[in-house]
Chain A
Amino acid sequence: MGEIIILADVSNNILKDSTAEVVTAALSLGDNPIVIVPGTSPDVAANAASNYDGVGSVIALQGDCFATYDSAAWCEAIASVSPPGHLLTSSSSMGKELAARLAASRNATVIQDVIHVDGNSITHPIYSGKANEKLALNGPSVMTIRSNIFKPTGTSGSASITNVNCSSDLRTTLKEMVAKASEKLDVSEADIIISGGRGMGSPQNFDKLYNVAKMLGAAVGASRAAVDTWEEIPHSMQVGQTGKTVNPSLYIAVGISGAIQHLAGMRTSKYIVAINKDGTAPIFRHADYGIIATWEEALPILEQELGALLG
C-alpha cells in the first residue's frame, strides 16, 4: 500500500501543534510515517517534527514558492517529494484545499475532517455533523484530520531529516495584503471562541464579548441572526451552516438560542458553555455548562472571575 505520508501544518515556517494530532492518526494506518515540512526556511519546523514520537523520517522541503500561498504551486512541489501511499494533513482551510489537489494529482480519494481511523475504515462527519459516514478504503487516499479529536503524539523522538530543495512556478500573484483592522483573532484560527447572538441587543454590546475574549486569547464569533441584523457584525464572524464551521476546545454562546443552522457550525466543539436568559433555548441541550441568566448579569461576573483566575 506504500508509505504513510504526513504534510506538516506550517505557518510562517513555524510548525503548528495540530501536526502532532495528525501523527497520531497516521500511526493507526501504519508505522514510521514520513513528515514533509514545507517552507522558505523549514529547518526549525523540521527539527520540531523530527521530535514527534513514532515518526520514521522528515523531509525539510525548502522552496521560494512557499513565500506566498498558491495551491497549485504548493501541490506540485509537495507532490514531487511524496511517495505513493496514504497522505494525511490537518483540516485547516489551507490543509483541506491542498488535500483536495494532492488527492487529484495522485488519483486518490480525498476524505475531509476525519474523526476516526480503524485499519482501513475511516469515519468523517456528513450533513454538518448530523450523521457520521464510515468509509472503506480500497485504494490510495488523502485525508485531513479534524482538530481536537486525536491525542497529540509525544515529543521524545529523533527521526532523521533529509533536506530537499524544490522550485515551482507560482500561478497567481499576490497584489496586495489588506491587513486586518485590528489584532482580532479569526474564529477559524482560535481554540476558544465566545459568540454573541441577537440577544446581545446591539452591536456595541459585543465589546463586552471582546473584553472576555482578550482575557482568554479567544476569538469573537456571531450567530447568523446577529450578522443579518447588524451590519457592524461582518459575515467573517458568522459561525454556522452558511458561515464558518469551528471545532474549538471551548465555545461560549451568549444570547444565542441555538438554531439548527448555528449548531451545524459549532456542535463538535469540545466544551460548550451557554449563557441565555431563556431556559428553554435549544442551545442548552447541547451545552456542557448552561447558565440561565441575562448577559448583562453574567458577563461582568465572568470577566471578574477570569481576571482573578488568569491574572
Chain B
Amino acid sequence: MVEIVVLVKQVPDTNAKIEIKDGRADLSMIKWITSPYDEYALEVALQHKEAIGGTVTALTLGSARCDKTLKDAKALGVDKIARIDVSEGYQDSSSVQSMLAEACKKLGAEVVYCGKAAADTNAGSTGPGVAEKLGWPSIANVTNVSFEENSLELMQPSPDGQAKIGVNLPVVVTCDKGMGEPRRANVKGIMMAKRAMVEMIDVGNFEGNTSVIEHSSPPQKPPGKSYDGSEHVPEVVKLLRDEANVI
C-alpha cells in the first residue's frame, strides 16, 4: 500500500484581471480555482492508486477558503483531504516548503505529486524544494508515468528530446500535461465530497526570509506601430533589423 500525497493549490482564476489597490493585488472579487497543473497531478495520483493500490491524500496550505479545492479533489476520488492552516496573504517559499515537507512526513508519504508550477506564481519551486527538505529525489515537468510496486518510470522533456527516467520511491514528481485529460467528478463523488472532513495538520511555525514591499502593475508598453496590408512587411523587416536589432 503506497501512501500517495498530492500537493494542490488554490489560485486566482487564470483569466481574471488583476487590479492593484494600495500597493497590493486586489483579490477580493476574484474567482478561485484549483491550479490547472495540480489537476494533472491529481489525475496521475489516482492512476497510481488504480495501478498499484494505495491511499491518496490531497494536501493544501492556505486559509479555510482553500477547502473548496480539497472538496473538489475529494469529488474526483482521493481518499483523504488535509490542510495546513495559514492566514491569507504572502507566504515565503522557504516556510511553505518546510511546512509542506513536515506535513508529508506526518502523512507518511512515499510519493508526492504536484503540478509543474502554480498558476499564480509560475515558479515551480514547491515540488523540488519539498523534495530537498525531505532528502528525496525529484523529477520535474513529467509528461508520462508508469507505476511499479516500489519504483516509477517517467518521461521528461529534455533539450535533446524525451528522457525515460527510472527512480525508486520515495520521490517527488511534478506533472505537466500528458497523462490524458483529468477526470471529472460524478454526482456520487460530489455528494461524498460534501460530507468529507478536512483533516487539519499542525506543523508548527517556520520563519521566512522575505516580505512584500509592494505589488505594481507592469509598465505599459508604448503603443506599437500598426500597418494595414501585407505590402508593409518589407518595412517591418527593415525595422526589426535597424530599430529593434533582433534579426
Judge if B68 is at the interface, Cβ distance under 8 Å.
no
A22-30, A33-41, A124-132, A149-157 - interface stretch: A124-132
Judge if B244 is at the interface, Cβ distance under 8 Å.
yes
Judge if B141 is at the interface, Cβ distance under 8 Å.
yes
Could you tell me if A72 and B240 are in contact, using CB atoms closer than 8 angstroms? no
Judge if A232 is at the interface, Cβ distance under 8 Å.
no
With contacts A96-B123, A128-B122 taken as known, whether A189 is within 8 angstroms of B165 at the C-beta atoms is no
Judge if B136 is at the interface, Cβ distance under 8 Å.
yes
Q: How many A-B residue pairs have CB under 8 A?
A: 266
**A139 shortest CB reach to chain B, Å:** 3
Residues in A whose Cβ lies below 8 Å from that of B94 = 103-104, 107-110
With contacts A100-B124, A104-B129, A131-B217 taken as known, whether A284 is within 8 angstroms of B236 at the C-beta atoms is no
What's the dominant secondary structure at chain B's contact region?
Answer: mixed
Residues in A whose Cβ lies below 8 Å from that of B161 = 177-180
**A229 shortest CB reach to chain B, Å:** 15
B174 to chain A: closest residue by CB: A97
Could you tell me if B140 and A97 are in contact, using CB atoms closer than 8 angstroms? yes
A75 to B128, CA, bound (A): 10
B56-64, B69-77, B104-112, B218-226 - interface stretch: B218-226
Contact residue among B25, B37, B128, B227 (Cβ-Cβ distance under 8 Å from A292): B227
A178 to chain B: closest residue by CB: B162
B12 to chain A: closest residue by CB: A127
Residues in B whose Cβ lies below 8 Å from that of A101 = 128-129, 131-132, 138
Contact residue among B25, B125, B138, B157 (Cβ-Cβ distance under 8 Å from A99): B125
A172 to B128, CA, bound (A): 14
Contact residue among B93, B162, B239 (Cβ-Cβ distance under 8 Å from A109): B93
Judge if A297 is at the interface, Cβ distance under 8 Å.
yes
Count of chain A residues near B, Cβ 8 A: 91
Judge if A241 is at the interface, Cβ distance under 8 Å.
yes
Could you tell me if B125 and A100 are in contact, using CB atoms closer than 8 angstroms? yes
Contact residue among B126, B213, B216, B240 (Cβ-Cβ distance under 8 Å from A289): B240
- A153-202 residues with Cβ-Cβ distance < 8 A to B are 171-180, 186, 189, 192
Could you tell me if A135 and B212 are in contact, using CB atoms closer than 8 angstroms? yes
A310 to B228, CA, bound (A): 25
With contacts A109-B209, A132-B218, A284-B226 taken as known, whether A127 is within 8 angstroms of B120 at the C-beta atoms is yes
Could you tell me if A270 and B136 are in contact, using CB atoms closer than 8 angstroms? no
Judge if B133 is at the interface, Cβ distance under 8 Å.
yes
Judge if A69 is at the interface, Cβ distance under 8 Å.
yes
Judge if A271 is at the interface, Cβ distance under 8 Å.
yes
**B133 shortest CB reach to chain A, Å:** 5
Could you tell me if B137 and A172 are in contact, using CB atoms closer than 8 angstroms? yes
A45-53, A55-63, A203-211, A300-308 - interface stretch: A300-308
Could you tell me if B210 and A136 are in contact, using CB atoms closer than 8 angstroms? yes
A134 to B234, CA, bound (A): 41
**B158 shortest CB reach to chain A, Å:** 7
Residues in B whose Cβ lies below 8 Å from that of A129 = 218
- A60-109 residues with Cβ-Cβ distance < 8 A to B are 69-72, 75, 93, 96-105, 107-109
Judge if A10 is at the interface, Cβ distance under 8 Å.
no
Residues in A whose Cβ lies below 8 Å from that of B25 = 126-127, 131
Could you tell me if A113 and B237 are in contact, using CB atoms closer than 8 angstroms? no
A45 to B114, CA, bound (A): 35
Judge if A225 is at the interface, Cβ distance under 8 Å.
no
Contact residue among B210, B241, B246 (Cβ-Cβ distance under 8 Å from A111): B210
Residues in A whose Cβ lies below 8 Å from that of B14 = 128, 241-242, 260-261, 264
Could you tell me if B241 and A112 are in contact, using CB atoms closer than 8 angstroms? no
Could you tell me if A109 and B217 are in contact, using CB atoms closer than 8 angstroms? no
With contacts A103-B125, A186-B159 taken as known, whether A309 is within 8 angstroms of B247 at the C-beta atoms is yes
| Chain A to chain B contacts (Cβ below 8 Å), 9 pairs | A126-B122, A134-B214, A178-B162, A178-B163, A179-B160, A235-B177, A284-B224, A288-B221, A301-B234
Q: Identify the 4 closest CB pairs spanning chains A and B, nearest first.
A: A139-B209, A104-B132, A171-B137, A297-B230
Known: A97-B124, A131-B20. 10 other contacts (CB 8 A): A100-B123, A100-B132, A125-B218, A126-B25, A177-B163, A177-B164, A241-B119, A250-B247, A287-B224, A301-B231
Q: Which residues of B contact A (CB under 8 A)?
A: 12, 14-15, 17-18, 20, 25, 36-37, 92-94, 97, 119-133, 136-141, 153, 155, 157-167, 177-178, 208-218, 221, 223-234, 236-237, 239-241, 244, 246-247
